[in-house]
Amino acid sequence: MKASDIKNIPAEKLRLANRGELHDTKFDTKPIGYFRDAWIRFRKNRASVTAAIIILIIMAFSVITPLVSPYKINFSVTSYSKKVPKSRVLSKIGIFNGQTKRERNDNAFVNTIGIGVGAADMDGRGATWEQGMENEYNPAKHIGDSYTKEGKRYHQLKVDVYLEEGFRYFQVEDDEYFKILEWQEKTGKQVIYPMVDTSSEYCYDSMNANYWYKTRPGRIEPISDTGYSVRDLKFDTDNLKDSEPLESNYLYDKDGNPKFYQNTGSTAKKIRVLYYNYYQYLYGFEPDYLFGTDANGYDICIRLAGGIRLSLTIAIIVSAINFIIGGIYGAIEGYFGGVADMLMERVSDVLANIPFMVVVTLFQLHYANKVGPVISLLFAFVSVGWISTASRVRTQFYRFKNSEYVFAARTLGASNTRLMFAHIFPNSLGTIITSSVLVIPGVINSESVLSFLGIMSLNGDQGTSLGTMIASAQPSFTQFPHMIFFPAFVLSLMMISFNLFGNGLRDAFNPSLRGVED
């Protein structure tokens, strides 16, 4: 039957039914409790349910990531700082492959490809340019077009930034040296490569282990800014594969064999290592940074999980404390009223008019060194954060304290405490819960703003916050946007989700919208 048909039924044919009468349709509708009714209406709000799911996913990410990641939150490798995301799994579909675009002049181009040639020359007997190009450790994964600008030739490359580190010099003790040799034998991955004759006139940079080939001062046009060019190369980069231009500048012993170390002390050796494999030797796994690394060489993924936990922990603790303090304070104000209410309201007015940024700054200046920045921040939030909750509770108590059920309970001998927290407070619970949930995104946003402005910093070996991660990435975000994208994206998602979730709770707990289950 349509609604329009019901309107056409004459009124005399309708009468109220009684529960005692039998009908085809039984009176099986049951009264619905306050919280059950709120849940029914909340789950009908698709935006709020979606927001709740997103919040749960973010929380799950922050908890599960430390359990499955090979990195710890204090794991830092400065050699791999500011690196773009890389994942061996996702790289198979062409994303998060650790590659970025580079523009290189002739000398820098040769130096980049030379890493692959040097990696192919494991015994120091020589390797061709073609072998270097095909070597798995060659950082140049794609060579694009070449062009000339202001008399200089440039090449467009797409390089793996983790392989781009190439070779490094290290000093190790004898036992460490033999451990590396043993690891090489076990895994089949070369770590120690022939030493470069750094005292040679052909060594362009004695500190850079990637200049393993001979170079010489020259004025061959066009030349690099340094005035050095690859020996006998004559910048014919189109024919590099055929000309095989790189001539090794290794250190040889008296028998003419390449040396793989130099003695620097009684038990110390200087070695030249391929850093990508040396990393695996040190830590037991390949560099696999899903969200890349930050300016300090931390894994952004694991730091992001820690930042979410810290930001949420601070926000939830502040919300809970504000709920308790504001609830008690507002209950006393609203229940007793009169002089007590007036005096307590004046205290609230004074605290509410103190700029929050001033409060945080004072706490950070005077207490951060004593109790730590996190505890100091909690004190700052709690010192004035309960005022809005107290105001809402006060309003609800004024609304319900003169209700008939309160008079009935008082007549039966209920104490003031029982009337406040057993009869009136539960009726205010929906509004209070909603306001407490909405405190969470406010705290997270405030912490982010304070960190971004440099008023406080929660950065450290043992953890960080979302705001601190964004603030730390700000100086480099134009060159390394991934450093700021991931924490900013998660922060935005959390802010939107918590606000939608709070709005859904507000509507669900609104007594004027109460109904019965269909």
Q: Which residues pair with 263 in a beta bridge?
A: 269
Nearest in space to 281 (alpha carbons), one of 271, 266, 296, 292: 271
DSSP 21-76: S--SS--------HHHHHHHHHHT-HHHHHHHHHHHHHHHHHHHHHHH-SS-TT-B
Instruction: Give me the count of residues in the chain.
Output: 518
Contacts with 33 (C-beta within 8 Å, 6 or more apart), sequence order:
none
Query: Domain 300-513 in CATH: superfamily?
Result: MetI-like (1.10.3720.10)
Rounded CA-CA distance 141/165 in Å is 14
Rounded CA-CA distance 468/486 in Å is 13
One digit per residue, the tens of pLDDT, for the chain of length 518 reads 555 555 666 766 666 666 555 555 555 556 666 677 778 888 888 999 999 999 999 999 999 999 999 999 889 999 999 999 999 888 888 889 999 999 988 788 888 989 999 999 998 888 888 888 899 999 999 988 888 887 778 889 999 999 999 999 999 999 999 999 999 999 999 999 999 998 888 888 889 999 998 876 543 333 344 444 454 444 444 555 544 567 888 999 888 899 999 988 778 899 999 999 999 999 999 999 999 999 989 999 999 999 999 888 888 898 888 888 988 898 899 888 889 889 999 998 888 888 888 888 888 888 878 887 888 888 888 888 888 888 888 988 888 888 888 888 888 888 888 888 888 887 777 778 877 888 888 888 888 888 877 787 777 777 788 888 888 888 888 889 999 999 999 999 999 999 899 888 888 876 655 554 44
Give residue 7's pLDDT: 60
Query: If DSSP codes are grouped into helix, strand and coil, which group holds residue 82?
Result: coil
Tokens of 119: 């990696």
CB 331 within 8 A of CB 423: no
Return the HEC string of 242-258: HHCCCCECECECCCCCE
Give residue 270's pLDDT: 93
Give residue 23's pLDDT: 53
Report the first-to-last Cα separation within the chain, whole angstroms: 17
Helix segments in 337-371, DSSP class H: 338-352, 356-366, 368-371
Q: How many CB atoms neighbour CB 318 within 10 A?
A: 25
Q: Which residues pair with 270 in a beta bridge?
A: 171, 262
Q: How many CB atoms neighbour CB 322 within 10 A?
A: 24
Nearest in space to 203 (alpha carbons), one of 237, 228, 236: 228
Q: How many CB atoms neighbour CB 246 within 10 A?
A: 27
Return the HEC string of 267-291: CEEEEEEEHHHHHHHHHCCCCCCCC
Rounded CA-CA distance 294/68 in Å is 20
Rounded CA-CA distance 228/204 in Å is 8
CB 84 within 8 A of CB 288: no
Q: Are strands 152-160 and 140-149 parallel, antiparallel or unpaired?
A: antiparallel
Q: Which residues pair with 321 in a beta bridge?
A: none
- Residue 296 has φ and ψ, to the nearest 5°, of -100, 5
Q: State the amino acid at position 313 in one-letter form.
A: T
Domain boundaries along the sequence of the chain: 86-283, 300-513
Rounded CA-CA distance 203/264 in Å is 20
